[in-house]
Structure 1
């Protein structure tokens, strides 16, 4: 098992707090997590702006939109037919409990992640992002940058999301705020240093000893 806390502390010391995810509300995070799949944030930003102008990101207003209208509004994010279907299903799920995130966390308890994975268009990365940023629960988001980072650190056989996540061990002291910062740090590090192995080797993690990450 991998204890990532020493890595997190080193990255935090070197890079400082990231205050990630870029959003004004938790519902904006929910919508953004659906729209960002298979695209970049600039495209998501355009789609979010369209939705804000039309609905102020009010869940009931979005759900009342004709499907064709919603498709048109989120078209800049790409794959707008599938994303419309996913967005409608996910927002309907939240609307059943009036978007009361604390109530939903208490209602589903340990089944929360499993329940979200049953929603159309919600995969492991999206579910974990919602756990961390919306439901305020610690989880490790094993996205592409994270898999590249741990591969460059010398870990092997991390070909997909679940392979890395199953090897991560988070201590009880690791909070959801830590999870948010760690995800932000990894993604910002990725943008700067994970474009090539040469960039990683030249970074402040180039000489990091992976044995520091052995679970105690």
Structure 2
């Protein structure tokens, strides 16, 4: 399909903040907090880091879990600021340990770390988010109960690019929003027939 620019963002800093704010909430709520923070700071690192905890909380309150998210935004911005926001340089110098470093930051779990790798550092990775785990469960995969369990079962092709990974995540997310939010919706999808064929083959 080609790169679609699926993530709704103007800059990579938008993505960084959005990936934190969207945790455990709908994008509409996260976007309210993102826009408030952008209007106040233009996401300038010095301006964001100059905010007090209470000021940052007030700006992102609509996203929920705002205390933890405020702490995460501050920590992540400080981490990038310490590295001069040099995404390419950070990747070149830290490939072997980058994911571990990201996971050590407050508020950065497996999904957020992989979003950063795919969308910020432009590297291919498989994002095993909730919608994706639901889909793979429908498709007959075992051990989809946690992010790590599903991710360990999926190996991307050697020629899979970051653009492909970005679009793959976007397609899975859009599929999930349409067919995986309510019981019975999956049976209306184009993948339901494939699942039935797989089940029939297994029974045979």
TM-score by length of 1: 0.87
Aligned to 1:31: 17
- Say whether the 8 Å CA contact 1:55–1:61 is kept in structure 2: yes
Please, which runs of 5 or more residues in structure 1 have no aligned partner? 1-11, 212-216
Equivalenced residues, count? 197
User: 2:170 corresponds to which residue?
Assistant: 184
Match of 2:47 in 1: 61
1:171 and 2:161 aligned: no
Structure 1 segments (4+ residues) deviating >6 Å: none
Partner of residue 150 from structure 1, selected from 114, 131, 136: 136
Pairing of 1:60-99 with structure 2 (within 5 A): 60-99=46-85
Give me the whole-angstrom Cα distance separating, in 1, the residues matched to 2:143 and 2:90.
Answer: 35
- Report SS of the residue matched to 1:208: helix
Distance (whole Å) between structure 2 residues aligned to residue 172 and residue 128 of structure 1: 17
Match of 1:114 among 77, 100, 104: 100
The alignment yields a C-alpha RMSD, in angstroms, of 1.6
Which of structures 1 and 2 has the larger relative contact order (alpha carbons within 8 angstroms, sep 6+)?
1
Q: How does 1:125-136 map to 2 (within 5 A)?
A: 125-136=111-122
Residue pair 2:3, 2:163 contacting (<8 A) in 1 also: no
Q: CA deviation at 1:18?
A: 4.8
* Greater mean deviation of Cα atoms: 97-106 or 139-148: 97-106
Question: Is the 8 Å Cα contact of residues 47 and 74 (structure 1) preserved in structure 2?
Answer: yes
Contact 1:43–1:77 (8 Å) recurs in 2? yes
CA distance in 2, matches of 1:131, 1:189: 22
Question: TM-score of the superposition, structure 2-length normalised?
Answer: 0.92
